[in-house]
Each structure stands twice: as C-alpha cells, then as structure tokens.
C-alpha cells in the first residue's frame, strides 16, 4: 500500500491557507495532521472553508509547540517576516521534514530551493527547504524565461491582480468599497516581487502592480525590446517550444483573461504582438493567484520533494 505523508499547515486562515487545505485534502498521498491559526483556534475548519473536513479544528500552534507536532511536511502560510521562529523549531526537532515557505522570507536564501518547478525542477527533487514563489513573480518569470538573452534593456511588467492578493487583513487594497469601479496602483518601484523576479532571472526588471475589484486571478503584460527582429508568430512559436512538455502552461495566440483561469491550476501565455520596425514585443500571462500563484505550486513542490509524481493531486 502506498505511503501517506502527513502535512502540518501553519497560518491557514487566509485565502491561500483555504486553498492549501482544499488541495491537500484532495491529494491521495497527503493527510493533514493539523491546521494552525491563532485567531480562530478551537473553531472547526469547515465553519470557515466550505468543503473542508468536519474533523479538522484550528489549533494555536506556536514555535514552542512544534516539538510535539511532528509532520512529514510543514506548510508555512504566514505573513512575511514570521517564518523564522517556526523554521528554527522545525530544524531543532524535525530536521528531516520538508518545509515549504509560502511567504517571501526565503526567496533570496541560497540554501533554500526556489519552487518554480517549470524552471528549477532538478533542484526541487528531494529538497527539504523550499521557498514558494510569489504569484506575480511566477507569472512574470513564465513570461520572461524563454526570452533570456534576447532582450535589450530592462523589461517592464505591468500587473493587475484581484484583491485576494492583498490578503485577508483589512486594508484599502482589499476593501471592496474602495475598489468598486476603480483600480489601485501601489508599490510602483522596489516591490518585493520586482526584486524576486530580477534575482531569479539574473537581470533587472521594472514591475508595476495594481489591484482591481475582482476577487482572484491576475494578468501581467510584459513589454520588452528584442535584440533582433522577430515576428509575433515566431515569438509565439518560441514559447510553444519552451513549454511544450509543461502540462500546466498553455500557449495561445490571444491575450489570456484572468476570469478564464479562476480555480484553474495552470498558466496561460498569449497576446503575442511585435512591432518589427522597433523590435518592441509584448505578451501577456494570466493565472489564478491563489492556485498556480500559491497552493498548486506548493503541492508541485511537495510532490517533487517527496518523490511523488509532480502533478499528483493536481487536476490537469
């Protein structure tokens, strides 16, 4: 009988946490051993997440409790800056366990594998410390990776996300009254995802995020100047070849729409356009920020770390 691996989920109340519960519960080789959220400890998970098991109850699991909370995999769905004490406790008491950090805390740490499987699969197989990429960073890297070495100057990435990307803690960026009939630019230089994209691509990138009044999904429009002239058809063909063996990445001629990716586990690249006179090229990438931008990618990384099929438990 195939082995079942236990998963401890810490920081589960947020939007990404909900998706992690849903995806992990439907995974044939994973079993949730505990779900931690200090603010709703003692309450049933099913009262907050439709479809969740009625046997799961939120627990208050702090770093000092980790010793008594063994798991094969720890999913840290915490806010940025909160992972370190939990990682230290896991290192001390369960060092062989897999840790997937959903936050940005370890995306620049060389001793952690960077969890974008389509580009870093070899480093993720058997890894024990994995940093899950950001949602925007995933979309931007999928859109820029096949262009490495072909771009002149600095690429620009214009992003629009649903307000779930701002998290569940109340703020103007997830206030539906502020966002109604509106779009909100923010962090237009120096955004964490800008640094993340540049770091893992090995080149500077300009990134301009915006939040819109829809709940989930995102789209980025990428603008570059090519070193050599290329037709739109040739550009699309290049992306098609680059991702031909990637079942979660689809390449199409038209611009992808965020609404078409809601509750879907993949990425769509499209909208290829080139001004051959100026060598200005544009393309678009869309995904569900809570799935391929977070939970789906985390499960891919768990599967690779544990030696399972990469898409085990992920509907394709």
Q: Are residues 103 and 67 in the same domain?
A: yes
Phi, psi of 34 (to 5 degrees): -160, 155
Does 314 fall in a domain? no
In this structure, is the dihedral angle defined by the CA atoms of residues 141, 284, 22 and 296, taken in order, positive or negative?
A: negative
Does 311 fall in a domain? no
Q: Are residues 285 and 152 in the same domain?
A: yes
What is the predicted pLDDT for the residue at 48?
84
Q: Are residues 277 and 149 in the same domain?
A: yes
Distance CA 8, CA 29 (A): 14
Q: Are residues 70 and 161 in the same domain?
A: no
Q: Which residues contact 304 (CB under 8 A, 6 or more apart)?
A: 117, 121, 124, 125, 126, 127, 310
Q: Are residues 106 and 148 in the same domain?
A: no
Q: Are residues 179 and 108 in the same domain?
A: no
What is the predicted pLDDT for the residue at 109?
97
Under a CB-based contact definition with an 8 Å cutoff, are residues 44 and 57 in contact? Answer: yes
Q: Are residues 125 and 189 in the same domain?
A: no
Which sequence positions are flagged as catalytic?
A: 135
What is the predicted pLDDT for the residue at 117?
98
CATH number of the domain to which 174 belongs? 3.30.360.10
DSSP for 44-97, written as a single string: BGGGTSTT--TT-BEE---GGGGGG---SEEEE-PPTT-SHHHHHHHHHH-TTS
Distance CA 249, CA 211 (A): 24
Q: Which residues contact 157 (CB under 8 A, 6 or more apart)?
A: 136, 140, 143, 144, 194, 197, 205, 206, 207, 208, 220, 221, 222, 223
Regions of the chain short of the pLDDT cut 50: none
Structural domain boundaries, residue 244: 135-289
Under a CB-based contact definition with an 8 Å cutoff, are residues 314 and 23 in contact? Answer: yes
What is the predicted pLDDT for the residue at 83?
96
What is the predicted pLDDT for the residue at 174?
85
Q: Are residues 214 and 233 in the same domain?
A: yes
Does 315 fall in a domain? no
Under a CB-based contact definition with an 8 Å cutoff, are residues 138 and 116 in contact? Answer: yes
Does 183 fall in a domain? yes
Does 280 fall in a domain? yes
Does 316 fall in a domain? no
What is the predicted pLDDT for the residue at 191?
94
In this structure, is the dihedral angle defined by the CA atoms of residues 315, 239, 141 and 118, taken in order, positive or negative?
A: positive
What is the predicted pLDDT for the residue at 176?
87
Q: Are residues 143 and 83 in the same domain?
A: no
Q: Are residues 45 and 70 in the same domain?
A: yes
Under a CB-based contact definition with an 8 Å cutoff, are residues 290 and 164 in contact? Answer: yes
Phi, psi of 100 (to 5 degrees): -110, 115
What is the predicted pLDDT for the residue at 1?
58
Report the domain count for the chain. 2
Distance CA 79, CA 76 (A): 9
Q: Are residues 172 and 129 in the same domain?
A: no
Q: Are residues 11 and 124 in the same domain?
A: yes
């Amino acid at each position: 009988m195939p082995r079942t691996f236990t998963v401890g989920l810490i920081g589960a109340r947020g939007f990404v946490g909900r998706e992690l519960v849903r995806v992990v519960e439907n995974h044939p080789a994973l079993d949730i051993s505990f779900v931690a959220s200090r603010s709703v400890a003692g309450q049933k998970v099913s009262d907050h997440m439709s479809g969740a098991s009625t046997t799961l109850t939120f627990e208050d699991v702090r770093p000092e409790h980790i010793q008594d909370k063994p798991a094969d995999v720890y999913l840290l769905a915490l806010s940025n800056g909160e992972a370190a004490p939990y990682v230290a406790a896991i290192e001390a008491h369960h060092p062989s366990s897999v840790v997937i950090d959903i936050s940005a805390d370890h995306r620049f740490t060389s001793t952690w594998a960077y969890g974008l499987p389509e580009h870093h699969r070899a480093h993720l197989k058997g890894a024990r410390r994995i940093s899950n990429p950001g949602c925007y960073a995933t979309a931007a890297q999928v859109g820029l990776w096949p262009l490495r070495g072909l771009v002149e100057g600095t690429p620009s990435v214009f992003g629009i996300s649903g307000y779930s990307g701002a998290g569940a803690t109340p703020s103007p960026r997830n206030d539906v009254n502020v966002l109604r009939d509106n779009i909100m630019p923010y962090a237009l230089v120096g955004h964490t995802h800008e640094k993340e994209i540049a770091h893992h691509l090995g080149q500077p990138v300009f990134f301009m995020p915006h939040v819109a009044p829809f709940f989930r999904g995102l789209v980025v429009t990428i603008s570059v100047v090519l070193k050599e002239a290329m037709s739109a058809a040739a550009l699309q063909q290049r992306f098609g070849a680059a991702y031909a063996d990637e079942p979660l990445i689809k390449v199409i001629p038209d611009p992808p729409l965020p609404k078409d990716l809601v509750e879907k586990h993949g990425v769509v690249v499209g909208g290829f356009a080139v001004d051959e006179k100026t060598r200005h090229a544009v393309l678009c990438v869309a995904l569900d920020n809570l799935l391929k931008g977070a939970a789906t990618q985390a499960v891919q990384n768990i599967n690779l770390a544990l030696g399972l099929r990469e898409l085990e438990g992920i509907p394709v």
